[in-house]
Structure 1
Amino acid sequence: MNNISTQSPHSSRAAVSIFFLIHGINLASWASRIPDIKAAMDINDAQMGTLLLVMPISSLLGLAASSWILRSFDNKVPLIVAMIAQSIALACIGISSNLIALGSSLFFMALAFRVGGIAMNTQAVILQKSYAKPINGSFHAMWSFGGILAVGLTSLMIALDVPMHTHLIWTSVCIGIFAIVCYPWLPSGDRATEGSKIKMGKPDKPLFLLGVLILLASFCEGGMFDWSGVYFKDIVNVEVYTAGYFTFMICMTIARLLLDKLIAHIDNKKIYIGSSLLIVGGILLAVLLPNLIPAMIGFSVVGMGTAVVIPTTFLMAGDSKKYSAGMAISIISSYSVVGMLFGPPLIGFISEAFGLQVSFLFFALMGLLILPVSLMYFHAVKRQG
């Protein structure tokens, strides 16, 4: 790894935080409009699930290129390119008039999310190494805060009857401007010079188990992003269907703001156990009592449970003995892609067969599995020495 160059540690941290923020705004802006997209395209849950399949297919294409990207560029370069591409894709989603145009827009958005996510998380993990206290949780809190802003804005747009295309186009313009303005303050010189090639041979069991943890958490997180609005509209029967998504994102942000302090005082094993129990309990509450208040409380609890799994897992992956921080994050990000993007289509298919309420029990199962897999990880690390 080359020597990292920054304008100042504080300005670089602020710049990376802004990129996490606008990344979250982008994802939540389109996800919170899914009920409107379904209505505009006149499609059912299974058809929506099929449409969402283009995103994991696109995103996984980026994995083959990740090794070359990490060796060829400072992470700030693919990050700015991906962020601009995301903003353009968001605008295209807003103006799509048919399924082919919408599917193409989702395809390019997912590809940009993949590249940008790897670059962004790599910069965060590398910056963490230059700080004595934990800061990684604060980056992911900014991502969640971006989601809160986006969902709040969507709720306002719905209340004011602002057309979806107007909302998404102006959001994309603002995202692009923020990305360009903050770009000069991103850290430079973080190009990986070693450990950025996939090594054949015996699999790295701890890294594999971290990937599975990311997979399980991403199934829950991605599914809640894409289906919480539909759940509140169709099952809870509320007019402002973003209510559940909004409380989910608020509690996720609060938990991530507290994560750095949690890491300093509680070992990671207890963090995973607590997260598993919160996800299961929150989903069961929302499914068994599908009324406004219980469902909002349940979604809030799920938000707290899912919040800390992904940032904690990325941070531990950055300490891999076999790969550079960027390559380790790229590897487990492939699991994140599978969970975040295959999960929502799967929920659509289950919903069409058994009903949306029953399909949400899938999230409870994924949350429950976090417990044994995390224990297997810590056992594997202990044996590895």
Structure 2
Amino acid sequence: MGNKPDAANERTSGLPGSGAERSGARAEAGVGASGSSSSVPAPPRAARAAVCAVFFVTGAAFATWAARVPAIQGGLELSEGQLAVALVGLSSGAFLGLPLVGGLVARYGSRPVLFTGMTVYLAALAGLAFAPGLPVLTVALALFACGNTAVDVAMNTQGVLVERAYGRNILGGFHAMFSLGGIAGAVAGSLAASADIGTRPHFAMTALVLCVVVATAATALLPDPPGQVEDAGPLFALPSAGLWIPGLVAFCVLMGEGVMNDWGAVYLHDVTDASPGAAGLGFALFSAGMVAGRLCADRIRARADTVRFTLGCALVAAAGAVVSISVPTTGAGFAGYTLLGLGMAAVIPVVFSHAARLRPERPGPAIAAVSAIGYVGFLAGPPVIGGLAEAVDLRAAMLVLPALMGAMALFSLGLRRR
């Protein structure tokens, strides 16, 4: 009875799919099914809750590390340069794993890759606190990033499968759960630091609790479609021609997100003379905008196609960038950062869903290919801003943000033909 609105939504959805797929979704929801539902391991509502839990756990685990970086640095007596070396392990582990994960998902399915990746991810989280020095910390961060990469691709593949079963857009809500998990992990980390709880008990207990949550959720994940893992192809493959456009859209938004993560608070402090607390609040408003945008995205997408939605996101984010740069005050920065968060929030789930529709028989490799292109931008953004700030000044360097949003708008027009 409670699932009937989902069946109704399938009839009005713009998502492609065969009649058999739509019938299968109704059968899973218990609507109009004449046969048994035993062919699937869990109803869509349970699978949706499970994927939400996985996204939440992933965000919480990463924020746990991010919130205690100063404690790790102090405990190992690392200089700024040594910490930067350790962080190379984080970025290189994530980037190098992306081209392989798509092939693994295609060959073995998203659920096994998710289980394996989450095991590595949470074990590495606990291990970060026990690293005796810089070399071990660097290796642990590389493993942490590899596990996160595997989980990221596999959980988005699961999200696409659940979205197909529902017959309507729900991927944005999953990404909102990632953001909420990040907030929860950051708050817990702040409380642990305030209570003078060491990183070893904090990370070990967090990893254990999150592992229990994932183990509980794992029983409700959906199986990959029959035949999807039979013709796996190579483990390593470059993005195919049709995936470069969504990949470039992802590049623009993730480069912008990387810039905001590393330079957003610095810009408010150095350019608008905001206090350290106000600069932190500005970044919090950007994060809140991301959460709000992801929570609202699915309902907006139901009324707009991919091109119009992505164009709208680019315009909102560009407006935020222009406001924060053209009026160098803290108040304008707050308003601009909120708009930037709202505009950037849902672009990634939209392009992931679009890529999966381009390759319905191999959604995992398609998502991995788009992620790989996008992650280049995420890694490139902060050093590009740093170099430009040295050459000119930080305010001028931040003009990269509206330029990126303009490029994203242009690239999104290419999605119309896909």
Q: TM-score, normalised by structure 1?
A: 0.83
Residue of structure 1 equivalent to 2:249: 213
When structure 1 is superposed on structure 2, of 317-326 and 225-234 the one drifting more is 225-234
Residue of structure 2 equivalent to 1:42: 79
Matched, 1:117 2:155: no
CA distance in 1, matches of 2:363, 2:107: 15
Residue of structure 2 equivalent to 1:193: 229
**Which of 72, 89, 92 matches 2:127?**
92
Q: CA deviation at 1:188?
A: 2.5
Q: Compare CA radii of gyration and give the structure with the larger one.
A: 2
Residue of structure 2 equivalent to 1:57: 92
1:82-231 → structure 2 map (5 Å cutoff): 82-96=117-131, 98-157=133-192, 160=195, 162=197, 167-190=202-225, 192-193=228-229, 196-197=232-233, 204-228=240-264
1:345-356 → structure 2 map (5 Å cutoff): 345-347=383-385, 350=388
Matched, 1:307 2:345: yes
Asked if 2 retains the 8 angstrom alpha-carbon contact of 1:197 and 1:327, the reply is: no
From the superposition, tell whether residues 212 and 178 of structure 1 become closer, same or farther in structure 2 (CA, over 3 Å): same
Is the partner of 1:185 in helix, strand or coil?
Answer: coil
CA distance in 2, matches of 1:22, 1:344: 26
When structure 1 is superposed on structure 2, of 77-86 and 89-98 the one drifting more is 89-98
**Which of 40, 47, 51 matches 1:16?**
51
From the superposition, tell whether residues 74 and 324 of structure 1 become closer, same or farther in structure 2 (CA, over 3 Å): closer
Is the partner of 1:129 in helix, strand or coil?
Answer: helix
Q: Deviations over 1:169-194 (max 9, x none)?
A: 44333322222222222222447235
Q: CA deviation at 1:151?
A: 3.0
Q: TM-score, normalised by structure 2?
A: 0.77
Matched, 1:75 2:75: no
Q: CA deviation at 1:372?
A: 0.8
Asked if 2 retains the 8 angstrom alpha-carbon contact of 1:75 and 1:190, the reply is: no
User: Which amino acid counterpart does residue 310 of structure 1 have in structure 2?
Assistant: I
When structure 1 is superposed on structure 2, of 172-181 and 262-271 the one drifting more is 172-181
- Please tell me the root mean square deviation across aligned C-alpha atoms, in Å: 3.5
User: Which amino acid counterpart does residue 275 of structure 1 have in structure 2?
Assistant: C
From the superposition, tell whether residues 176 and 144 of structure 1 become closer, same or farther in structure 2 (CA, over 3 Å): same
CA distance in 2, matches of 1:31, 1:51: 13
User: Percent of pairs identical after alignment?
Assistant: 27
Unaligned runs of 5+ in 1: none
- Higher RCO (CA-CA < 8 Å; seq separation 6+): 1
Q: Deviations over 1:122-147 (max 9, x none)?
A: 11111111113321221111112112
Q: Deviations over 1:230-269 (max 9, x none)?
A: 5567763324864333322222111111111111112222
From the superposition, tell whether residues 322 and 87 of structure 1 become closer, same or farther in structure 2 (CA, over 3 Å): closer
Is the partner of 1:302 in helix, strand or coil?
Answer: helix
From the superposition, tell whether residues 342 and 112 of structure 1 become closer, same or farther in structure 2 (CA, over 3 Å): farther
When structure 1 is superposed on structure 2, of 224-233 and 179-188 the one drifting more is 224-233
Residue of structure 2 equivalent to 1:364: 402
Asked if 2 retains the 8 angstrom alpha-carbon contact of 1:123 and 1:190, the reply is: no
Q: CA deviation at 1:312?
A: 0.6
